[in-house]
Amino acid sequence: MTEAPLAISVDLGGTRLRAALITADGNIVKRAETATLASSGPETVLQQIEALAKDVAQTVEPRQICGLGLCAPGPLDTKAGLALSTPTIGGFTDFPIRALLAQQVPWPVWLENDAIAATYGEWKFGAGQSSENLVYITASTGIGGGAVVDGNLLHGRKGMAAHFGHMTIAPDGPLCACGNKGCWEALASGSALDKRAKTIGLSNARAVFTAANNNNTEARRLVDETAQWLGIGLVNLMHLYSPDCLIIGGGLSNGFDLLSVGISQRVKNAAMPPFQNIPILKAALGDNSGLIGVGTMVFDRI
């Protein structure tokens, strides 16, 4: 009896590094994670990726594994295999991550933007199943995303499509990590809410959601502000792509129930009437959207 092929998927984040064994139909066979040593240099992070990938692979026959899919925050040139400029991981500037990783592991390696990988995961196996047109937004440390248009996952030049977080929505707004002012990311991300949390004596976005659930007035005000900023960007994406649905993932999606009322109000006030009934959904795969997406992409590519 022939054993089913498996892919290794690795999701590199500025805070957490995750790896998994994935089947072609999106099931996770084994999963592991660790803290990303993001300030220790790219070579150290590369060693972490190699070690975690080999850890999840050690319980199966080597011949079962058909490749490794790595997703990481951008900007990336996924066609050339380069990390062009990743602000959350020190030294990831014009870094040939795919080629160097391929020298250290015995499998073919593919590189994908983390948000595009998560878009694929939610499209094939999550909240966006059966949709021909969808937009996925990950709202966490930053804001990224991906789009499926007429049944095609968009990649664009160098595989850099859908850097939604760097739409300018307030020209005189706060400084973004990218160097621009007023990016959607600088106003509506988890990091942005973390900063506002401190103005009311709370530690981070998670604490804001907890306090808001306990009817803390100041926390509810911050939740509403975040919802309004999220809604502005979502309306722009509705008008741009006319999707069947919008899917929100990332850390802020943990507060989706609290945010959804304010988001819906902003959409009602700002979207043109034919766009106002586009469903806004919470991602179904949680932290595994990127892992499942980039892992199952390997089967497509081989």
pLDDT of 1 above 50:
no
Cβ–Cβ < 8 Å for 125, 296: yes
Sequence letter at residue 212: A
The pTM score is 0.94
How is residue 221 written in tokens? 């005000």
Residue 35 phi/psi, 5-degree rounding, is -75, 135
CA–CA separation, 254 vs 236, rounded Å?
23
Supply the pLDDT for residue 82.
96
Q: Express each pLDDT in 105-140 by its tens digit.
A: 999 999 999 999 999 999 999 999 989 999 999 998
CA–CA separation, 159 vs 118, rounded Å?
14
With respect to CATH, is domain 6-117+288-301 assigned 3.30.420.40? Answer: yes
CA–CA separation, 51 vs 19, rounded Å?
10
**Mean pLDDT along residues 183-205:** 96
Q: Which residues, at least 6 apart from 13, have a Cβ–Cβ distance to it below 8 Å?
A: 36, 73, 88, 114, 141
Mean pLDDT for all residues in the chain: 94
Supply the pLDDT for residue 219.
97
Helix (H, G, I), strand (E, B) or coil at 8: strand
pLDDT of 150 above 80:
yes
Q: Express each pLDDT in 248-293 by its tens digit.
A: 999 999 999 999 999 999 999 999 999 999 999 999 999 899 999 9
Sorted by where each begins, the domain ranges of the chain are 6-117+288-301, 130-283
Supply the pLDDT for residue 46.
95
Q: Express each pLDDT in 206-258 by its tens digit.
A: 999 999 999 999 999 999 999 999 999 999 999 999 999 999 999 999 999 99
Instruction: Classify residue 158 by burial, with Cβ atoms within 10 Å: 0-12, 13-18, 19+.
Output: middle
More confident residue, 238 or 73: 238
pLDDT of 171 above 50:
yes
Question: Is the fold of 6-117+288-301 the same as that of 130-283?
Answer: yes
CA–CA separation, 145 vs 143, rounded Å?
7
**Mean pLDDT along residues 165-184:** 94
What fold characterizes domain 130-283? Nucleotidyltransferase; domain 5 (3.30.420)
